[in-house]
Structure 1
């Protein structure tokens, strides 16, 4: 209970702070790399390095990489060996770990909402020969492999869509972006009103993320 309360309090502060920094975000709600805080950069660095290590330890993935890009296998192993020490150092920082947990939940929510909002495009691409051919050439895969991959993505989104809390939250986020296109908020007081509204939705955010 104590951890959940702390996590929720941190999430409230994180999301509200994110709204107050809205001018630093690119279209689509993502911050420009130059506008990331030092903690956000550290989180992303740790996730990237961890992903390299996990890939290096996943024989199935490494076999696939070796088939398609044999020149990358040695580089991945070398990067993974160097990354281990850096990841251990970052993970030893308890404060950073707490922040990254909240940041990851926030980023995961945005990613899941993006998937839900764009699933129709993926479904249409499966039936589009031109799109399949282009993806096959670019990814060095057969048409069937491309279609299977896209179908897995569609199936994954269907699972996300079964979470009503998540779907409702994504809709509110999308509606909020759409409303901003038609009218600009007043400079004085606007951010406080938006922050209050976001705070009221934090419980939904937390529930949606923890239920996935």
Structure 2
């Protein structure tokens, strides 16, 4: 179980960080795109197509969105039909579908990490009397409200931190982001260094090795 958690942590961290680093890359680095980046874009496309198909099934909403115009509704349904066909084709790629599941899980984990950080900030504010006074201008009602939210936040945070895999993953993501920020500050502001490019590729490699490792462990 410990090995399984370790690989899941590695996997989530690799996918999330690689995705975040890609968001900061310029268009002229297209030739250096990694497999993770390509897969992420395909997954995003599948999610978009799925949204169109799902929305098209609600005739009431479609009618409202198209102002009840028969021609517009027909055109929208044609688009939805084409989207359904394309989605069906992409869904036959079982490797892609599996990878999308991993990426979606990584993004969900990143979202949970952000929530944990937000909850911790609420708790810290409530426990800092000086900051609390400054934030509320000494308003007793506001102070009570913040303290009530902090109490609820503490309960939620305790539940989330009981998940050791989540905690380890969040810590790994934070550490990697800190390392990346430090490297970026030292690098040129106009061109990515060879080390930066290597780092992204390394993350991608780790990601897919982790996918394979997790698959073996789960068998």
The bucket for the TM-score relative to the shorter chain is 0.3 to 0.5
Tell me: higher relative CO, structure 1 or 2? Use CA pairs within 8 A at least 6 residues apart: 2
TM-score w.r.t. the length of structure 2 is 0.44
TM-score w.r.t. the length of structure 1 is 0.46
